[in-house]
């Protein structure tokens, strides 16, 4: 299983914001730090805002920050919000054209595997992802636009 780029970027944005919680970040800055498309990140950030993970501050000195504490943002919750978890078409809500669906044993096995995958992710929060890695993450993500002297 591979997460979509959308989920990957969503998690990256949240990690970026969690690393330096006390500072507002911009989409430009995040895009430069990760070397990803600003246009794509704008869509991701917009959806993260709608879902209550990110809040924006408008104005000249505006930017983005986490909408709630990193300790309250579950990784499984984010993946559920950003992924289509129907691993095969018969797991989607009644849209399968599979001729063996009624007799197939694959769907319950995949549901069990997906539940195990999500159970592991549910054991972690955004804070867990950055807790012991704040300084190296800060150093790796630090863009030219970060004010000199900023600390994680």
Q: Which pLDDT does position 77 carry in this prediction?
A: 97
CA distance linking residue 84 with residue 29, whole number of Å: 28
Q: Using one digit for the tens of pLDDT, what is the confidence trace for 130-145?
A: 887 767 677 777 744 4
pLDDT in tens, the chain (152 residues): 789 999 999 999 999 999 988 889 999 999 999 999 999 999 999 999 999 999 999 988 889 999 999 999 999 999 999 998 888 777 776 667 888 877 888 888 999 999 999 999 999 999 999 887 767 677 777 744 444 344 44
Q: What is the pLDDT of residue 128?
A: 95
DSSP annotation of 147: P
The top-level CATH class assigned to 5-141 is mainly alpha
Cβ(104)–Cβ(90) under 8 Å? yes
Q: Which residue in 2, 118, 19 sits closest to 66, CA to CA?
A: 19
């Amino acid at each position: 299983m591979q997460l979509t780029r959308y989920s990957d970027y969503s998690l990256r944005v949240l990690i970026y914001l969690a690393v330096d919680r006390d500072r507002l970040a911009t989409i430009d800055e995040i895009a430069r730090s990760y070397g990803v498309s600003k246009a794509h990140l704008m869509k991701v950030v917009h959806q993260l805002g709608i879902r209550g993970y990110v809040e924006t501050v408008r104005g000249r000195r505006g930017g983005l920050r986490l909408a709630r504490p990193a300790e309250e943002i579950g990784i499984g919750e984010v993946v559920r919000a950003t992924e289509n978890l129907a691993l095969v078409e018969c797991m989607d809500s009644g849209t399968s054209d599979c001729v063996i669906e009624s007799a197939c044993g694959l769907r319950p096995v995949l549901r069990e595997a997906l539940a195990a995958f999500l159970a592991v992710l549910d054991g972690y929060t955004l804070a867990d992802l950055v807790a012991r890695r704040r300084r190296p993450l800060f150093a790796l993500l630090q863009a030219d636009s970060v004010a000199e002297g900023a600390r994680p």
